[in-house]
């Protein structure tokens, strides 16, 4: 089984992904997880509730999630983007079924409403942040769908153990899902060839990362890449053997990443 996680950038090429999956899915069971941050930020601005980024004391940024942000999250992730992808991949004869973490309580999270944030160097407590960390996967539902030939297309948000909708880190959720499904490899695609030493130089690609030293690479990570490294660390901790990072904008992007043309963490 293979889990493929695709970032939410607007230059991801879903036709290339569809072509690749049409072939790969004949050989292996596949679960797709996607983001939608690019479109989310755009719609949030249009609706007059621009995404508000907060930074943790350790320098990890995330979106502050009040009820308006949850509503926009549902609209863009679970609605517009999830269904557009689900329909697009059906054009490649894939039996896709789009699900959020809420559906069938697929992604169950522990709510974590109070977080510390760094505001101009001062640590402050932020309350009522509607976020949580995924801890439990509805494995019965995933097995039911895979056993019957469906390709699940999954996105946040998650549902808390108290049945509240919570925003959740997608890379972390991917790791937990892979761990509970005993998946051995994860492919993570985004708008770069892999982890770069210099974000402005595509030729500075880091081809191999020793899984025991992954945290040493935080120094090369900027923006969202910091969370991908945390997610990879979590996946390694949960027994995933190989993580392939690759480019979501090239032809046969999954095959390309699996062939070692991006960054391999092992």
Q: How far is the CB of 93 from its own copies (least distance, A)?
A: 9
Subset of 58-77 contacting its own copies (CB under 8 A):
71, 74-77
In the chain, beta strands by DSSP E: 2-6, 30-34, 52-55, 61-64, 96-100, 107-111, 115-119, 122-126, 132-137, 151-155, 158-160, 165-166, 185-190, 208-209, 242-247, 263-265
Q: How far is the CB of 146 from its own copies (least distance, A)?
A: 12
Cα distance between the two ends of the chain: 17
- Which of 8, 157 has the CB closer to its own copies? 157
User: Which listed residue (22, 24, 60, 105) binds its own copies by CB under 8 A?
Assistant: 105
Q: What are the angstrom distances between the C-alpha of 114 and each of 135, 163, 251? A: 18, 18, 43
The answer to whether 255 and 24 have CB atoms below 8 angstroms apart is yes
User: Which listed residue (43, 54, 134, 154) binds its own copies by CB under 8 A?
Assistant: 43
- Residue 100 is a binding residue for its own copies (CB under 8 A): yes
Q: How far is the CB of 148 from its own copies (least distance, A)?
A: 6
**Tokens of residue 168, six digits:** 């959740």
User: Which listed residue (55, 58, 68, 91) binds its own copies by CB under 8 A?
Assistant: 91
- Which of 100, 131 has the CB closer to its own copies? 100
Q: How far is the CB of 155 from its own copies (least distance, A)?
A: 10
- Residue 45 is a binding residue for its own copies (CB under 8 A): no
Torsion of CA 182, 185, 191, 194, to 10 degrees: 140
The answer to whether 7 and 190 have CB atoms below 8 angstroms apart is yes
**Tokens of residue 175, six digits:** 């790791």
- Which of 126, 144 has the CB closer to its own copies? 144
The answer to whether 23 and 50 have CB atoms below 8 angstroms apart is no
Q: For binding to its own copies (CB under 8 A), which residues are involved? A: 43, 46-48, 71, 74-80, 82-84, 86-87, 90-91, 95-100, 102-105, 140-141, 144, 148, 150, 157, 159, 163-165
């Amino acid at each position: 089984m293979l889990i493929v996680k695709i970032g939410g950038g607007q230059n991801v090429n879903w036709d290339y992904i569809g072509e690749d999956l049409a072939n790969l899915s004949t050989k292996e069971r596949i679960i797709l997880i996607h983001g939608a941050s690019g479109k989310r930020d755009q719609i949030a601005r249009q609706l007059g509730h621009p995404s508000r980024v907060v930074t943790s004391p350790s320098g990890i940024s995330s979106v502050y999630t009040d009820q308006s942000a949850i509503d926009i999250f549902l609209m863009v992730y679970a609605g517009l983007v999830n269904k557009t992808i689900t329909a697009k991949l059906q054009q490649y004869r894939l039996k896709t079924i789009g699900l959020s973490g809420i559906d069938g309580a697929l992604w169950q999270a522990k709510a974590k409403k109070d977080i510390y944030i760094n505001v101009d160097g001062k640590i402050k407590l932020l309350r009522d942040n509607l976020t949580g960390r995924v801890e439990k996967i509805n494995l019965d539902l995933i097995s039911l769908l895979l056993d019957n030939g469906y390709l699940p297309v999954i996105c946040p948000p998650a549902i808390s153990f108290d049945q509240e909708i919570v925003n959740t880190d997608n890379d972390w959720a991917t790791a937990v899902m892979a761990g509970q499904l005993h998946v051995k490899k994860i492919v993570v695609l985004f708008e770069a060839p892999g982890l770069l030493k210099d974000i402005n130089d595509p030729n500075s690609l880091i081809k191999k990362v020793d899984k025991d030293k992954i945290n040493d690479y935080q120094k090369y990570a900027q923006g969202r890449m910091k969370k991908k490294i945390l997610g990879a660390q979590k996946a390694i901790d949960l027994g995933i053997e190989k993580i392939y990072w690759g480019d979501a904008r090239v032809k046969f992007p999954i095959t390309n990443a699996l062939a070692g043309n991006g960054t391999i963490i092992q």
